[in-house]
Amino acid sequence: MRNCEQCKVLPPLGLLPHLKYLELVDLSALEYMQESSPEMSFFPALEILRLYKLRNVKGWLKDVTAEQDLSFLHLSELIVSCCHNLISLPLSGHRYLKSLALPSSPYLSELYITDCASLTSLELNPSPYLSKLHICDCPNLTISELPSFPRLEEVHLSYVSEELVQQLMCTSSSLKSLKIQWVVNLISLSEDELQHLTSLQHLVIYGCHSLMSLSQVTQHLIALEKLEILHCRGLLLSDKGDDADDDLQFQELRSLRELVIKDVPKLVSLPKWLKHVTTLKTLTICDCSGLATLRNWIGSLISLTQLQISGFPKLKSLPEEMCLLSTLQKLKICDCSGLATLPDWIGSLMSLTQLQISGCPKLKSLPEEMHLRSTLQQLKINNCPLLSKRCQKETGED
């Protein structure tokens, strides 16, 4: 279809069962391809889609939420050019898509590419308004030339190649949120890749089992507020153990407020650099089966308000230095089967208002000091048979 200046709505082309090639050119009145989601099959045979000079087109459907359910099942080539007002386009579940070109979409603000297993090529021009980029289940995708994205703030990458991660981490100094999930070949994050991310506030690394180290990179993340490291079974949080130089690099995390470490089995003790992060308010460490003790310097986390430790069968005691956590308000201890006693100093935590204990079968009683703890507002005990018996309301000894 070409030069149909009065065309505001397309005819129901998506219902043509054998249509393989569709080219739309210079439809200046067109804003949306369709008003609502089609009730029947959506372009069941389309292989090539080319959109040129659709100057007022904003998206495929007027109902943007419905676009999530659309997919061109057999699409192998998609070109979008001179669609200056384009905001969204359905790019999910295109298993046969091999080539994607968006050479001129200056107002594109969000781009989501999902489940395009055959996609190998992505052509992008500078997109001054692009703020969100999500790419998922595109294991063969690379970008030949990476343009500038001056307003890009959020990048989520899942089931993609290591090369694509390396490319996109150098895209924008304005990036605030970066999530990397299930990139199985990712071994390290280099200093060259992260040195530009001086605005990054939230970093999530999830399911990257080949990742071995985060050292040499965090010194540049001066704005980082939340760091989540989840299900990274090969990760050593420091290449050099307690090496002084490595220790100093993490002192740059002066903005860090929340740290979550979950299912990192090679973690045998809390990394020494953590003691320098005095801005930390929330610390969550879960399912790190190799962890046997908490470091004595944990008391130096003077701003900590929430602490959760769970899934540590080797943990037998809590360090006395934890009594220095004067700002601690919430303490959660779960699935620590080796923990037999709670220290008396827990009763001296002046700000503690919530205490939750779960899955600690060897615990028999609460410290005497707990009986005098007037600030404690909530006490939860689950799956601790000996302790639960003593803490029964009216009948228990505690």
pLDDT, tens digit, 9 for 90 and up, residues 299-323: 999 999 999 999 999 899 999 999 9
Give the integer Cα–Cα distance in Å for 93 and 71: 6
Per-position b or e across 73-90, b if 16+ CB within 10 A of its CB: ebbbbbbbbbbeebbbbb
Please compute the mean of the pLDDT values over residues 345-359 and round it to a whole number.
Answer: 91
Task: Give the pLDDT band of residue 241 (cuts 50, 70, 90).
Answer: very low
Question: Which of 86-95, 110-119, 163-172, 314-323 has the highest average model confidence (pLDDT)?
Answer: 314-323
177-180 long-range contacts, Cβ below 8 Å, gap at least 24?
A: 177/153, 177/201, 177/202, 178/202, 178/203, 178/204, 179/155, 179/203, 179/204, 179/206, 180/204, 180/205, 180/206, 180/208
Which candidate, 372, 380, 378, 283, places its Cα nearest to that of 325? 283
Q: Which residues, 6+ apart, have CB-to-CB distance to 335 below 8 Å?
A: 310, 311, 312, 313, 358, 359, 360
CA dihedral 60, 94, 157, 59 (to 10 degrees): 0
Average pLDDT over residues 29-46: 73
Residue that wins the pLDDT comparison between 50 and 13: 50
Categorize the per-residue pLDDT at 244 as very low, low, confident or very high, splitting at 50, 70 and 90.
Answer: very low
Residue 242: predicted pLDDT: 47
Check residue 139 and give its pLDDT: 92
